[in-house]
Amino acid sequence: MRPRAAALSFFFALLILGSCSEAPQATPPDTSARHERIVTLAPNLAELVYAAGAGDLLVGVSAYSDYPPEVLHLPVVGDAFMIDQERLSILDPDLLLVWHGGTPAHVVDELRNAGYNVRVMRTNTLQDVALSINAIGSLTGRQESAREAVEEFTGELDELRSKQVAKPGISVFYQVSRRPLFTISSGHYISELIELCGGTNVFADLGDLAPTIDVEAVVERDPEVMMASMDAGDDAFAEWGRWPDIAANRYGNHFQMPADEIGRATPRLAQAAVSVCAALDEARARRGAG
């Protein structure tokens, strides 16, 4: 399997795991200690550590961690499902950061029972990203750099949001996977990005974070825009051609978003938001010309 395809499969597995399995509760930071040896068990968490200004304290990462480039030189301790206990022991971290909804509860329990200080970080929403950066800042004594990163992130989103106010709404279907067919609900940050850009997620009302749906539901809700990650491949929307009357097909509104930016809950979601807004602007223009 190609590295990019493997990373996509891993992200998809974690997304579905988070939507349908028991997840450990997010834990607040303990500001009584300043941690100096951090291991992260999800790629986005490594990026959040760097965003908080604590990248120099990171001593180990999970599989598929590739941003910023500095993490490529760090030891890999496994992934959300399997941990190399020997390597983890050698690294001797005083803080393990795991992903709420991505790391199974039993793995968290096993790590805690082994004596590790485990902190569960929730990163489902845009606000969660900001809160996680600030939490890491508190855990590492890097509060000031974390605060600056959060201000930059939220400022970029607020500026972009302010430019969408007068734009007409448009309905959007975001396709996480074709087979099985998964989408996202209002609880997911991608749905927030769509809303920030003046769009409406046609499956926002569903309960799970990443609900499974059927083709008939998409046809019935008749989205004006279809979106997917670039990792989905050039044929991401090919099968929808069998339903030419779907509004998105009539207007040719099929858009693929930059995979790394939209696939991880990090400050790079501000860049993803720019891409989403640009796509919806183009979709509105096509709708108007249709």
Domains 18-156 and 163-289 share a fold: yes
pLDDT at 26: 58
CATH architecture under which domain 18-156 falls: 3-Layer(aba) Sandwich (3.40)
Say what the pLDDT of residue 102 is. Answer: 81
- pLDDT of amino acid 178: 87
Contact 209, 185 (CB under 8 A): yes
Over the chain (290 residues), what is each successive 10-residue block's mean pLDDT? 44 48 54 83 97 98 96 93 93 95 88 96 95 97 97 98 94 93 94 97 92 95 96 85 96 95 96 98 90
pLDDT (0 to 100) of residue 122: 94
pLDDT value for 16: 47
Identify the pLDDT of residue 80: 74
**CATH number assigned to the domain covering 163-289:** 3.40.50.1980
Half-sphere exposure of 219 (CA within 13 A, CB side): 10
Largest CA distance in the chain: 62
> What integer pLDDT is reported at residue 231 of this predicted model?
80
In this predicted structure, what is the pLDDT of residue 233? 75
For the whole model, what pTM was predicted? 0.89
- Say if residues 29 and 119 touch (Cβ distance below 8 Å): yes
Domain boundaries, the chain: 18-156, 163-289
Evaluate the CA torsion angle 88, 91, 92, 98 in order and state its sign.
Answer: negative
Spatial contact of 193 and 124, defined as CB atoms under 8 Å apart = no
Identify the pLDDT of residue 103: 85
pLDDT of residue 171: 98
